[in-house]
Structure 1
Amino acid sequence: MPLEKPPLKRLALVVLAIVPALAWALVKPVRVIAPEWAGVTCTTTTVCVDDTSKSAEAAALYAQAVQFVDAKVSRIPGHPRVTFCSSQACADHFGLGARSAVTVGTFGTVIGPRAWKPYYVRHELIHYLQAREFGVLRLLAKPSWFVEGMAYGLSEDPRVPLSQPFEGYRSDFLAWYRSVGKDRLWAEGSRL
């Protein structure tokens, strides 16, 4: 007797239930979507912390970074959510690994314990801005010198030199940026 095939609707529902669960379990940065599930406290709609005694410091880093990026790059649309991890356990929960911080499209950012510095938060908000301006899929197709070079260059990261290839990306981006200027940044960037 042949096995009966499940109806297409039932299969679609199973896939819709399993894919998000697998993403949550296997792709840890996706957890920025709901950081509260990681035992993190969101003190505002935009700032979450694993240690509430550091919420004022996190809020100040966030506010300074938004103000900087608004003035130096362009206005940040929306209200990006940033999770500040002061412990390595928190950072590991979000899958940072060796990274200091990560931004997942427009869903959110995680700042690890080593990245509680203004230029790191600015760097990640620039990645958020890139995802908003270009869309996540188009951003993935952009050259690394543009994506990372912009984040390192326009965040005014004081580390000189950066390790390679990042110092090269920053140099290449800043040379390109001098030729296009702030007013044409997004229009010219969309052509890359």
Structure 2
Amino acid sequence: MGRGSGSRSLARVAVIVRAPAAPLWWLGLLAAGIGAALPGLTGRRIGLLAGAALFLATAATAFTARRKRYAHLARAASRAGKAVFLQDRAVTARTWRQARRWWLALAFPAAVASSLAAPGTAGLAMAGVGAGLWAKAQWLGGLERRTEALLWVRTEWAKGSPAGRQVHGYLTTGLAAGDAAPGGARRPRRPVGRAAVSAAR
């Protein structure tokens, strides 16, 4: 890898981590809201209290999962060559969501249906996963700011997890590369007429 890596498509690590956060958060809250309108077998109070506990547990799990692996890959990252193609933030997020659209589509009705037993519990658990992934993306953004380098992964390696066994390493660029800020958020629009920064610097 490194400068001799050739022409390859790279996706931002933080954008991949952040991609499921919003769907899980909003679908989870919607499912919890619908569930709260149902009495359920346990009753609303017990269901929502259990859901709050699961929210905290799933958020903590999503935030801490594989953090050592992410940190190791970040420390061992090499500089991207100038021939690489940096995938847009929107394309990366859309690709992740499209590959898992059926999973997301099934998770929502399943969370609502579970409210017949414990109102709101599964929905709050879903929202907790979304919150944890958003927090992990912010943590990655902190790593990127401290090292003044954005973290990228080859798109063919990131079809599962951006920190899975199939990922052999990260590549880095300067903070100005691409259209996503540290942490994967949308970068503020640059003033019209300002020269674009080279993607791999």
The TM-score with structure 2 as length reference comes to 0.26
The TM-score with structure 1 as length reference comes to 0.27
| Higher-RCO chain (CA-CA 8 Å, sequence separation at least 6) | 2
